[in-house]
């Protein structure tokens, strides 16, 4: 596939209005053949080659005519080309059989794209996906270093090579950790994650992993430790158990001890516990300063703190009054108590504003799954039918596939509106967005 792409180039599907490309009359359907006489294999090449201030690009128009265009621009200024495929190449799927893989714990019959396991270093750089390094070739490592691509997000799980082979069910998984040394020596910025499995990579193994990973500071800027997500679809899979409250407290003790060590040396807290640990342990969510600028929000690290702080700021700025509102809010069981606390503060300024929070139990994946992002349309409808009494319903945008109105189970927002006989407002995840939606949506 790679050679075919090199020969035929990359089809442009969109030209950004007002961009350099539009000025040069490049159009959707044109094909990018080369930049500075170099064939473009994928997005790594494209990003690197197109950064320069002086470019010669070769375009094939729809009628087969080839244009050689000379461009002078600012360094790193975008050309304004959008390609059919964000990677400009085939997506690389995961070769591991991780004992904790969430995709293996999904029921059959869902849309095909949900079963695709990616493990592509280019997606790490582009979209923040976490990669195991087992799929990263020598050439990839060299290009990351040569093009200074960062940050790269790495799923470590453990720094014990033998245990990593067993956890990922891949005999090369331990060896793959040597690539981290290469990236570190080249000064490439990295973030890491450890999916913690009870009795496997916790306790002494976690201590050992963090002691090794601390050696990669400051290039390795953060490591999140998150509990394994366990659905009810685990037949025939590795027997994993959920953590208890006491075990969650022990995990946090280890994390906090390493935070103190790392902060003393580097000024970074470095290792961060996912929000779920604090909720399970019934401990206070740390203050914003502990999150080093929220490097791992996508991983559920610091989301609760950010929501609490942003909401408080938004409420403080409000004048208050006797506005009347009565809405319902649906979320996962994890966030529900925090939303209730936020709404109590809002009511002090607006006593006539009512907002009832409905924590949706995850019957689809199983009750161990408590995040809003995995709530399905069918669970939402089944649990709210007859309870809304005509109130508008607010749901977080994390419940839907990005940029769409579709839930994980292919239920759509209009279908849910029809079933519940109410209007649904999709709310962005920021605290200001939440307060605005409660008062005005």
Task: Show me where the domains of the chain are located.
Answer: 2-83, 103-299, 307-440
Same fold yes or no, 103-299 and 307-440 = no
Fold of 2-83: Pdz3 Domain (2.30.42)
Task: Say if strands 54-60 and 325-332 run parallel, antiparallel, or are unpaired.
Answer: unpaired
Task: Say if strands 190-196 and 152-155 run parallel, antiparallel, or are unpaired.
Answer: parallel
Q: Are 249 and 383 in contact (CB under 8 A)?
A: no
Q: Which long-range contacts (CB under 8 A, 24 or more apart) does 396-404 make?
A: 396/331, 396/335, 396/372, 396/426, 396/427, 396/428, 396/429, 397/426, 397/427, 397/428, 397/429, 398/371, 398/372, 398/373, 398/429, 399/330, 399/372, 399/373, 399/375, 400/426
CA distance 371 to 399: 9
Q: Which of 391-400 are b and which e, b meaning 16 or more Cβ less than 10 Å from the residue's Cβ?
A: bbbbbbbbbb
Task: Say if strands 10-15 and 190-196 run parallel, antiparallel, or are unpaired.
Answer: unpaired
Q: Which CATH architecture has domain 307-440?
A: 3-Layer(aba) Sandwich (3.40)
Tell me the pLDDT of the chain (441 aa) as tens digits. 333 334 478 888 888 899 898 999 999 988 888 888 888 887 767 777 887 888 899 988 988 898 999 999 888 788 888 877 665 556 555 555 665 565 555 566 655 554 344 444 444 444 446 777 777 788 888 888 888 878 888 889 999 999 999 988 888 889 989 999 999 999 999 999 998 999 999 999 999 999 999 999 999 999 999 998 766 756 665 667 899 999 999 999 999 999 999 999 999 999 999 999 999 999 999 999 999 999 988 788 999 999 999 999 999 999 999 999 999 999 999 999 999 999 999 999 999 999 999 999 999 888 888 889 889 999 999 999 999 998 999 999 999 988 889 998 889 999 999 999 999 999 998 999 999 999 997
Q: Which CATH architecture has domain 103-299?
A: Alpha-Beta Horseshoe (3.80)
Which residues share a beta bridge with 226? 195
| pLDDT value of position 204 | 98
| pLDDT value of position 117 | 43
Which of 138, 97, 103, 98 lies closest to 121, judged by CA? 138
């Amino acid at each position: 596939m790679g050679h075919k792409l090199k020969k035929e180039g990359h089809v442009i599907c969109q030209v950004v209005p007002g961009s350099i490309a539009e000025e040069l009359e490049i159009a959707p359907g044109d094909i990018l053949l080369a930049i500075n006489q170099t064939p473009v294999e994928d997005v790594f090449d494209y990003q690197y080659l197109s950064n320069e201030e002086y470019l010669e690009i070769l375009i094939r128009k729809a009628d087969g005519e080839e244009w050689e265009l000379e461009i002078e621009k600012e360094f790193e200024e975008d050309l304004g080309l959008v390609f059919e495929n964000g990677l400009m190449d085939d997506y690389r799927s995961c070769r591991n059989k991780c004992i904790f893989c969430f995709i293996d714990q999904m029921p059959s019959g869902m849309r095909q794209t949900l079963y695709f396991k990616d493990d592509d270093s280019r997606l790490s750089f582009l979209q923040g996906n976490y990669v195991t390094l087992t799929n990263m070739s020598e050439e990839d490592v060299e290009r990351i270093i040569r093009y200074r691509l960062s940050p790269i997000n790495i799923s470590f799980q453990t720094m014990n090579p033998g245990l990593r082979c067993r956890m990922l069910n891949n005999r090369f998984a331990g060896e793959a950790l040597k690539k981290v040394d290469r990236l570190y020596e080249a000064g490439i910025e990295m973030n890491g994650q450890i999916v913690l499995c009870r009795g496997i990579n916790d306790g002494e193994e976690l201590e050992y992993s963090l002691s090794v990973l601390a050696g990669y500071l400051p290039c390795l800027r953060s490591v999140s430790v998150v509990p394994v997500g366990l659905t009810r679809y685990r037949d025939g899979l590795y027997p994993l158990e959920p953590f208890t409250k006491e075990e969650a407290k022990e995990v946090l003790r280890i994390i906090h001890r390493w935070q103190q060590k790392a902060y003393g040396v580097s000024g970074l807290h470095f290792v961060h516990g996912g929000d779920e640990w604090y909720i399970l342990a019934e401990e206070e969510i740390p203050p914003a300063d502990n999150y080093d600028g929220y490097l791992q929000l996508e991983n559920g690290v610091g989301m609760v703190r950010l929501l609490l702080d942003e909401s408080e700021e938004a409420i403080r700025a409000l004048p208050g009054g006797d506005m009347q509102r009565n809405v319902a809010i649906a979320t996962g069981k994890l966030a529900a108590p925090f939303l209730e606390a936020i709404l109590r503060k809002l009511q002090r300024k607006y006593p006539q504003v009512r907002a009832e929070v409905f924590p949706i139990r995850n019957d689809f994946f199983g009750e161990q799954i408590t995040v809003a992002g995995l709530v399905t349309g069918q669970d939402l409808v089944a649990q709210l039918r007859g309870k809304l009494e005509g109130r508008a319903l607010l749901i977080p945008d994390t419940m839907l596939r990005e940029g769409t109105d579709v839930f994980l189970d292919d239920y759509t927002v209009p279908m849910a509106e029809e079933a519940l006989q109410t209007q649904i407002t999709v709310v962005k995840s920021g605290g200001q967005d939440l307060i605005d939606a409660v008062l005005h949506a």
